[in-house]
Amino acid sequence: MFLTSVVPQWPFYNLDTMFVRGLKRKCIDGEEDIEGTLAGIKAIPSYNLQRQSLLDMSLVKLQLCHMLVEPNLCRSVLIANTVRQIQEEMTQDGTWQMINTQSTGQTSLDRLVSTDILCRSSREQAEGKQVPGYSNFNKDFEDDQTQDSSETMSTASSVQAPRNLQSNVWEMENAQENRGNFQKSLDQIFETLENKSPNSVEDLFSEVDNSYYDLDTMLTGMMSNTKMGHCDGLETFSSPTTTTSNSNCKSDLNELDHIVEILVES
């Protein structure tokens, strides 16, 4: 489950720094690996690890957004496209398939300790706080994944799959690679998310009114309420509408003031 709520108080920058520090090393080192492999030379463990890092980084990026201001849609779309690309390649590789056939049981439960930070975030998640526009996008993204993955495999729900994929890959790599700070912190994120059983995740969503998620519906509702001026094509011709009177009034008032000022003075 990639995201339920994003938490204003969550000092994500701390996590980010840890995250970034570890990642940076791996990223710069592995940069050539990625491009090398795309040219056809695959050093399997390293390439997969790098690709996985990129996937994880992208997912975290989609989660960590500015709370107060609406997130940049262009950035979100580009990151989501990158994630899709990686997952497509993983599907073609058979990595996705392979991971999924492994036991879905266990994983990293024993080696991870949830920090206070993560506890706070999961509590917030339980409260079901949401940023509507943003969460909608990610929910859509999750739905998209459901579509993709159901076509390629018949196994557990997609909600489970990516999480398991990540944790299982980590497990696979564990024997060969050293654990860096990065691994731990990333695992912690997914560990916390993983702790929630699928049912509870769905419950989380069910608590919140689903219609609220639908940006489109919401905005349509808003539009019809405020009688927005812009509609498709020629329809506007027949129905001149008013905007929220405030802004219009203000500008009119200013003009009026100006005129009155002149009149009064002379």
Partner 1 sequence: MEGESIYEVDSGDGLGADIISTVEFNHTGELLATGDKGGRVVIFQREPESKNEPYSQGEYNVYSTFQSHEPEFDYLKSLEIEEKINKIKWLPQQNAAHSLLSTNDKTIKLWKITERDKRPEGYNLKDEEGKLKDLSTVTSLQVPVLKPMDLMVEVTPRRIFANGHTYHVNSISVNSDCETYMSADDLRINLWHLAITDRSFNIVDIKPANMEDLTEVITASEFHPHHCNLFVYSSSKGSLRLCDMRASALCDKHSKLYEEPEDPSNRSFFSEIISSVSDVKFSHSGRYMLTRDYLTVKVWDLNMETKPVETYQVHDYLRSKLCSLYENDCIFDKFECAWNGSDSVIMTGAYNNFFRMFDRNTKRDVTLEASRESSKPRAILKPRRVCVGGKRRKDDISVDSLDFTKKILHTAWHPTENIIAIAATNNLYIFQDKVNSEMH
Q: Which residues bind partner 1 (CB under 8 A)?
A: 20, 23-24, 27-28, 30-32, 34-35, 38-39, 51, 54, 57, 61, 68-70, 72-75, 77-78, 80-82, 85-86, 131-133, 136-137, 140-141, 143-144, 147, 215-216, 218-219, 222, 226, 228-234, 236, 240-244, 247-248, 250-251, 254-255, 258, 265-266
Q: What is the DSSP letter of 179?
A: P
Least distance to partner 1, CB of residue 8, Å: 11
Least distance to partner 1, CB of residue 211, Å: 13
Select 207 or 257, whichever has its Cβ closest to partner 1. 257
Q: In angstroms, rounded to a whole number, what is the distance separating the alpha carbons of residues 117 and 12?
A: 9
Q: In angstroms, rounded to a whole number, what is the distance separating the alpha carbons of residues 3 and 117?
A: 16
Select 97 or 146, whichever has its Cβ closest to partner 1. 146
Quick one: CA torsion of 236, 241, 243, 245, rounded to 10 degrees? 160
One DSSP character per residue, 90-116 reads HHHHTHHHHHHHS--S-GGGGG----H
Select 197 or 257, whichever has its Cβ closest to partner 1. 257
Least distance to partner 1, CB of residue 69, Å: 5
20, exposed or middle or buried, with CB in 10 Å at 0-12, 13-18, 19+? middle
Least distance to partner 1, CB of residue 159, Å: 15
Select 200 or 217, whichever has its Cβ closest to partner 1. 217
Least distance to partner 1, CB of residue 120, Å: 20
Q: In angstroms, rounded to a whole number, what is the distance separating the alpha carbons of residues 30 and 26?
A: 6
Select 44 or 109, whichever has its Cβ closest to partner 1. 44
Select 116 or 216, whichever has its Cβ closest to partner 1. 216
Least distance to partner 1, CB of residue 249, Å: 10
Judge contact between 112 and 57, C-beta under 8 A.
no
Q: In angstroms, rounded to a whole number, what is the distance separating the alpha carbons of residues 98 and 92?
A: 11
Least distance to partner 1, CB of residue 168, Å: 21
Backbone angles phi, psi at 182, to 5 degrees: -60, -50
One DSSP character per residue, 194-221 reads HHS-HHHHHHHHHHS-GGGT-HHHHHHH
Select 112 or 131, whichever has its Cβ closest to partner 1. 131
Residue-level length of the chain? 266
Judge contact between 180 and 25, C-beta under 8 A.
yes
Judge contact between 167 and 85, C-beta under 8 A.
no
